[in-house]
Amino acid sequence: MYCPEPFAETRPEILRALIQRYPLATLVSMGANGLEANPIPLYLAPGEGPQPVLQGHVARANPLWREAPPDDEVLVIFQGPQHYISPSWYATKAETGKVVPTWNYAVVHAYGPLQVRDDPDWVRQQMVALTAQQESGFTLPWQVDDAPQDFTERLIRQVVGIEIPISRWMGKWKVSQNQPLGNRDSVIAHLEQQNRPDSETMAEYVLATRRKGKEDHSE
């Protein structure tokens, strides 16, 4: 992924936070007919060890788990918040007029070998962990044990677990760091005025870089 230095994000805790907030990944692998891309929710196993691990499951009918070369890396893409940025939002528009539209976004790319876990107990534990993560904000969180055991066991037999030890990962946070501070403040204000969840989230990301006080850079 092309990533100018001002947009690079390498702090593990920040990368983890995006993955946990946006767990639906695009898993890119080499299949029998070339590149394959599968949307799969993945769980980032807790721990601060040297090699983070992604866990998930796919339908047994999905050829991904059979065709992915065991010794080759797969690419896992986690798309975070993204938002169109209008040039009319920049304070410098009135001063010079030298402004153009752009798109803000945050994304994490993770690489590692795909390992198959064709084990019902492993799959169940993975489902319990991912479900608990996603249900944590609810007043009455649903649990896997809430469903009849014979029902869940039948469904578990229809899927296969996958695990990806992350060999390397990187984030790209393109969130207005290349703009003067006045433009960043104006972008934050306009995003907050949109009254949409994605706008509010992007405003948070721009504000975070504003607080870091990075120098201005060209895109």
Domain boundaries, the chain: 5-86+99-177
3-state secondary structure of 131: helix
Q: How far is CA 183 from CA 3, 9, 12, 95, 139, in A?
A: 22, 22, 29, 11, 40
| CA separation for the pair 104, 205 (Å, rounded) | 10
Which pLDDT tens digit goes with each residue over 87-137? 999 999 888 888 899 999 999 999 999 999 999 999 999 999 999 999 999
- Proportion of the chain above pLDDT 70, given as a percent: 95
Q: Is the pLDDT reported for residue 50 higher than 80?
A: no
Q: Is the pLDDT reported for residue 68 higher than 90?
A: no
Q: How far is CA 30 from CA 103, 146, 196, in A?
A: 29, 37, 37
Strand pairing category for 102-113 and 73-85: antiparallel
157 phi and psi angles, rounded to 5 deg: -70, -15
Residues 137, 138, 141, 144: what is their CA dihedral angle, to the nearest 10 degrees? -60
* Amino acid at site 63: P
Quick check: 28 and 76 in contact, CB under 8 A?
A: yes
Q: What is the pLDDT of residue 117?
A: 96
Superfamily of domain 5-86+99-177: Electron Transport, Fmn-binding Protein; Chain A (2.30.110.10)
Which pLDDT tens digit goes with each residue over 170-190? 999 999 999 999 999 999 999
The pLDDT-based confidence of 218 (bands split at 50, 70, 90) is very low
Q: How many other C-beta atoms are found inside a 10 Å radius of the C-beta of residue 178? A: 18
| CA separation for the pair 33, 212 (Å, rounded) | 45
pTM comes to: 0.91
3-state secondary structure of 179: coil
Q: Is the pLDDT reported for residue 216 higher than 50?
A: no
Q: Is the pLDDT reported for residue 217 higher than 90?
A: no
Q: What is the pLDDT of residue 214?
A: 45
Q: Is the pLDDT reported for residue 46 higher than 60?
A: yes
Q: Exposed, middle or buried by CB within 10 Å (0-12, 13-18, 19+), for 149?
A: exposed
Partnered with residue 75 across adjacent β-strands are 28, 111
